[in-house]
């Protein structure tokens, strides 16, 4: 039976954080193709073929010298690489991430991330159970309260996932899932509405825009062409050309020396015409 085909790892350039995943992928290749990499020399040369930059400069003498002591000793070659590029603080980093991990989504996703971080840590099953339970949501902890907790990680994960699914299903039945979430901005807007005195409209940004003041009083305009408006003489009282002197609304009667108001010219003309008409009727 031929060996399985697997994807080759990406070249290793010397970054410590990428060393562990690189060696893990190389181990998968060796396990999937045992015939192709049956000897230590083939494993060492395969690793060297995937090195670049500074790691390749270090391993160049091994590739060129068939009698090099590390060329035919896979364990010694790997130990030499581990001493140079293995991240010595990786255990502490993973432990800190595990302690700070909290459930933000489903319990199933939280458990998958938790088990991935705990896989390379030397923590017993009981300690992992305490850390896993601490990071669960309060609603899941409440659902687990009546149930005796399992003291193995796999059993506690099953309990937590089941409780989380029951809580979610209950929220769906109660209609708590899918409702519109009220943001802080909308709640502040509502509080402002309650504080606003009655009878006043809400503030608008258009309130800052001042309406222009009228330049003149409004007058009824007669339908005429533009040329006739241009030829019309301005009013003798206010100076505007959109009305005649007789139509001016600013025209007022002039006071006399006795304190009584004197009628204007237009009023006098009207009075003379009316008196003449009455005299002709009497004659």
Say what the pLDDT of residue 106 is. 93
Cα 47 to Cα 24, 56, 59, 69, 165: the distances in Å are 12, 10, 10, 16, 45
Taking residue 164's Cβ as centre, other Cβ atoms within 10 Å add up to 24
Tell me the Ramachandran region of residue 63: left when phi exceeds 0, alpha when psi lies from -120 to 50, beta otherwise.
alpha
> Per residue in 40-73, is it b (16+ CB within 10 Å) or e — as a string?
beebbbbbbebbeeebbebbeebeeeeeeebbee
> In the structure encoding, which two tokens stand for residue 85, read together?
């590029």
Q: Could you report the per-residue pLDDT of 16-44, keeping only the tens digit for each?
A: 888 988 999 999 999 998 888 999 999 99
Highest mean pLDDT among 9-18, 178-187, 205-214: 9-18
Q: Could you report the per-residue pLDDT of 120-171, keeping only the tens digit for each?
A: 788 899 999 999 999 999 999 999 999 899 999 999 999 999 999 999 998 8
- The length of the chain in residues reads 283
Instruction: In whole angstroms, give the CA distance from residue 34 to residue 27.
Output: 10
Instruction: In whole angstroms, give the CA distance from residue 187 to residue 11.
Output: 54
Task: Name the average pLDDT for the chain.
Answer: 77
Q: Could you report the per-residue pLDDT of 85-127, keeping only the tens digit for each?
A: 887 677 788 889 999 999 999 999 999 999 998 987 888 999 9
Instruction: Assign 3-class secondary structure to the chain.
Output: CCCCCCCCCCCECCCHHHHHHHHHHHHHHHHHCCCCCCCHHHHHHHHHHCECCHHHHHHHHHHHCCCCCCCCCHHHHHHHHHHHHCCCCHHHHHHHHHHHCCCCCCHHHHHHHHHHHHCCCCCCHHHHHHHHHHCCCHHHHHHHCCCCCCCCHHHHHHHHHHHHHHHHHHHHHHCCCCCCCCCHHHHHHHHHHHHCCCCCCCCCHHHHCCCCCCCCCCCCCCCCCHHHHHHCCCCCCCCCCCCCCCCCCCCCCEECCCCCEECCHHHHHHHHHHHHHHHHHHC
Average pLDDT over residues 175-185: 52
Domain boundaries, the chain: 16-85, 90-174
Instruction: In whole angstroms, give the CA distance from residue 141 to residue 203.
Output: 47
Tokens 């030829």 identify what position? 231
Say what the pLDDT of residue 192 is. 53
């Amino acid at each position: 039976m031929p060996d399985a085909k697997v994807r080759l790892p990406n070249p290793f350039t010397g970054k410590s954080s990428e060393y562990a995943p690189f060696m893990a992928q190389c181990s998968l290749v060796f396990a999937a193709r045992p015939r192709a990499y049956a000897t230590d020399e083939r494993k060492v040369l395969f690793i060297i073929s995937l090195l670049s930059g500074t790691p390749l400069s270090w391993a160049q003498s091994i590739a060129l010298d068939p009698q090099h002591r590390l060329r035919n000793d896979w364990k010694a070659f790997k130990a030499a690489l581990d001493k140079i590029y293995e991240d010595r603080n990786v255990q502490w980093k993973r432990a800190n991430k595990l302690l700070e991990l909290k459930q933000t989504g489903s319990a199933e996703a939280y458990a998958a991330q938790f088990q991935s971080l705990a896989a390379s840590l030397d923590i017993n099953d009981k300690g992992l159970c305490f850390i896993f339970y601490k990071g669960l949501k309060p609603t899941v902890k409440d659902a687990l309260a009546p149930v005796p907790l399992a003291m193995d990680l796999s059993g506690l994960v099953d309990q937590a996932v089941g409780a989380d699914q029951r809580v979610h299903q209950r929220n769906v039945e109660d209609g708590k899932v899918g409702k519109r979430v009220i943001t802080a901005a909308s709640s502040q807007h509502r509080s402002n509405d309650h504080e606003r005195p009655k009878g006043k409209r809400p503030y608008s940004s258009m309130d800052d825009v001042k309406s222009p003041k009228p330049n003149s009083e409004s007058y009824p305009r007669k339908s005429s062409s533009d040329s006739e408006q241009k030829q019309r003489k301005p009013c003798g009282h206010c100076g505007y050309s959109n009305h005649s002197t007789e139509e001016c609304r600013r025209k007022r009667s002039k006071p006399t020396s006795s304190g009584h108001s004197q009628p204007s010219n237009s009023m006098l003309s009207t009075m003379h015409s009316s008196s003449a008409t009455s005299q002709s009727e009497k004659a």
